[in-house]
Amino acid sequence: ISPFAGVWADRYSRKLLIVLSDSLIAVATLILAILFFMGKDSLWLLFAASAIRSFGSGIQTPAIGAILPDLVPEGELTKINGINSSVQSIVMLASPMLSGALLTMASIESIFFIDVITAAAAVFLLLFFLHIPIHGKALEKQKISYFEDMRQGTAYIRNHGFVRTVFVFCAFFFILAAPLSFLTPLQVTRSFGDDVWRLTAIEMAFSIGMMAGGIFIASWGGFKNKVYTMGLSTLAIALCTLGLGIIHFFGIYLIIMGLIGFVIPMYNTPFTVLLQQKVEPDYLGRVFGVLSMISSSIMPLAMLVYGPLADAVKIESLLMVT
């Protein structure tokens, strides 16, 4: 849905798209909570609700990426994107712990209702307390068709030297990073043991590292040439991935996972800022829509190859090669 949502983010109010997608996610969760409360707790209902929530997130992601330059002065984009990365990491770290604690005291449908209430509060605050200027294209009468807008967005990406180059680089980066992203839990199970606390520990180390990295890049701002910051981060990720394939002591493995989490915001943040600075405002939605499609599809597709390979060769070997 992301490429289509990118067109919507350029044609219509980005604030309204975020509100509508959040509302869609909340309504899907509310219906699920009511059905569970009525005793209809079939597994397919969870899958259906997850699909609808993913659909809403796919609409929301390009709009959020494109809306920040409408809110933030250009010189503050690195700081705000870094803070945003830290907030997301805090949510990734705290949400499972909070949900687990709530499950010991309340039913699953009660937690669904809590999710709906927090989403409704977010929509209310966004609607009535946050003024976001509407970008130029959304204020104009649309003179071309939806699909012509999509075609123009694709042509813009293809003809924009910087965007085309970094998107190709990102595609290769995601292909090579797939084993790091998907196979490390399996590696831990095979090499260090299948204790649940070990899998929890690597997720916590990664999330804490990302949280610290987001704060660090927000404070530092990176090199004046943001490509150098991205290059340094890429080199650090490569060295850490190599280390995960070599290390046989779990304590050091955890430290390396934390370091990977720490340096990822130093790639993501300047990359996002460069897109927000170099892409014309009227094309930002379509550019972020295509980026969202690349980031969400390349790694799962790469795992069609890496998954069977992980049963044929050691995961450590895959990590060292990639």
Q: Cα–chain-centroid distance for residue 5? A: 16
pLDDT above 90 coverage of the chain, percent: 55
Angle at 196 between CA 108 and CA 305, to 5 degrees: 95
Where does the pLDDT of residue 132 fall: very low under 50, low under 70, confident under 90, or very high at 90 and above? confident
pLDDT at residue 134 tops 90:
no
Candidate from 6-10, 97-101, 201-205, 299-303 with smallest mean pLDDT:
97-101
Q: Which domain holds residue 289?
A: 2-321
CATH value at residue 40? 1.20.1250.20
What are 177-206's pLDDT values in tens digits?
999 999 999 999 999 988 888 988 998 899
Query: How many separate domains does the chain show?
Result: 1
Cα(221)–Cα(259) distance, integer angstroms: 18
Distances (CA, A) of 290 to 3, 31, 278, 293, 305: 5, 31, 16, 5, 23
Please report the pLDDT score of residue 173 as a whole number: 92
What are 256-267's pLDDT values in tens digits?
999 999 999 999
pTM: 0.86
* Average pLDDT score over the chain: 90
Residue 146: partners with Cβ closer than 8 Å, 6 or more residues away = 7, 11
Please report the pLDDT score of residue 236 as a whole number: 96
Run of H or E residues at 45: helix 43-71
What are 57-93's pLDDT values in tens digits?
888 888 988 888 888 888 898 999 999 888 888 887 7
Please report the pLDDT score of residue 223 as a whole number: 92
